[in-house]
Structure 1
């Protein structure tokens, strides 16, 4: 993940901006919540602030040093970068990079980093240790004066300042072969597995084929940099699960890009060419990495091949990512009522798409995302835009208030994915990943602010007749009133639609007494919040608007006046009968 840069004072803004530019990091305003969230996600943290601020915020979360992410404090003038945590998980290296970019100094306190460009257990991106525990022993012997005998390309260690001696008894082996034996084995991530499969192939079959192919070839799975396939397989669950199993990204290529490798394929297929536009998928992806290390192997429904590059592969530049649309529910609007999951997604997304007001409600997490703002009535336009952006391989957050599953954009996403003809989205958009991140709904927030009116059976009805026929709304009102549900009304009133909420009141009065509690919540969860409890008889439909949610109680709903004078509404579930 990109490092997160936080500032706690305006005097650190200029330094933070230089760090962001130098590292390609992301910046957010400093807050304890943002620091803790990044830490729990394992995200590198760079605070342009006093070290004590980060220490006090993170102290309750400290535990296993082996899994803590890098945490660095940078002085506001950029003169000093101090690794506080995760020294051997990238903090020392990041501190050096920051110091170099700012013309300052890195205050490194670990012995290995004082002498060498990186410790043996903090290798540069693209390298992994076969056995991390062995690094400490080897590092101790190096610090005691021993040199390293290196099997493989020694450039990585020589450039970092390690002494190299082909006669030394302290051995290091660098390469993807499982046959390597040494005191410390380093795996360069130079391998790519190209995979093809039939639609709906079980993930276990793909994983088993890859495991067996690598084992037969004597190659370590720790040397894998990516799994790749053709772009029509972008939504193939088995391939995503296989990539997750091996802990590598899943990348895709167009048929044209793969067809460019046709002359290098060892097992081309005219049948495959006729079906997908390239005579091979697995071997073509392998060739994109460099040389063909393992030609095509087959299982019943899948194929794979392995390619090898001459240097570690940057997976971010290999093919393209599979795009994802995150459907994010912000909750009522207050950042404290937003889920940690939603906040994490908003921070990591490249693009935000939504109604302008909703994007403004997430502005505390803004850190350079491309914002795509739409008017309130452009629902289909903005959902389509989000899907097409993701079709380009981008991480997109489609932002909604409340819960996106309730009268919001989640259902429209799936509707467009299923659409044909003029409403159909592009093929690449149809293949994107879709993930939902629920938020607190308006009816939940209003109920909580006014007691517990949703304590028993309830339903929700939208009074907007733009998308639902008026007759259907009236029928549902009758049914809800007769069934004695607590009923939440969304979109209760607009400038041109005035009477449906009035009809709702009249219908419900036919089935329950005028003393039935009613909760009215306006701008719930926002600074302008106004929540009050009245009765069905006293309820005035003219005082509500589109920023209001209304909840009619059931016949069993009661009110309670607390010592502070507040009147609250609640609907008993029946525990009194259970107790008796």
Structure 2
């Protein structure tokens, strides 16, 4: 993805623009020449400049009304598969609205920006909201083969059809997709080097994945442990005393480097803006601390990098104690290979 272009129309927007730049360090701030003094680069005509960047595939962040961007780009909206991310940000930073580029990661950008502005992004993508995943824009390492079939496929899913999986992929299995062995729709996951085996159709989406067989296929099912020596990690973190900007840099780094988050839904919602599509969120009720700890330990035993998310201090809020209690009571051999961090 190219470095984003942040557009401002007046000097009053520069503070929010600089905040956004902390989340997107490579982004450049473009300001209207006659009204701004602090922008990185100035321009003379808003419409012409925005359209030029859009046509070159540059992500656009406009600190302006959504309608301005919509009217500016409307004549160019012909192919959603090629549209770069476009977002509208309120001048005071109170709203982050992804407008275009759902297939190019606009919701991910929205979450990054919303995180530094301490607001919730206005995600409106129905499939992502309902299914907690984006079939049209799969995680890094996966490629959708038959994108032309995806529109009807998604429409059928949203209408209530169930889907069966052929192959394995954590990002699908841990989603809210209506997965059923009796599903009329199929999602097929196959290695990239076996593309000739793909059988895409209107009721079968096919994804190619890079690299080796996914880790879940390396499990010794009879023993319930990994057949490979890969070492998993389990960290227990607290979100801090309040707003996300009070979170320690170390906790943020641990969260962003994980493959899985485990926690009470309310606590996971506090850090949702930091979650990328590759990170799988495992929600649970507030009264099942021991079950939550066991889920996290089992994931780490599979070689994954797992974070248990607690509110405030994880020692005070008992999640650290819950993990050690489960370790003492059950002591599965597979857990011994994992690295623990509190």
TM-score (norm 1): 0.31
Structure with larger Rg: 1
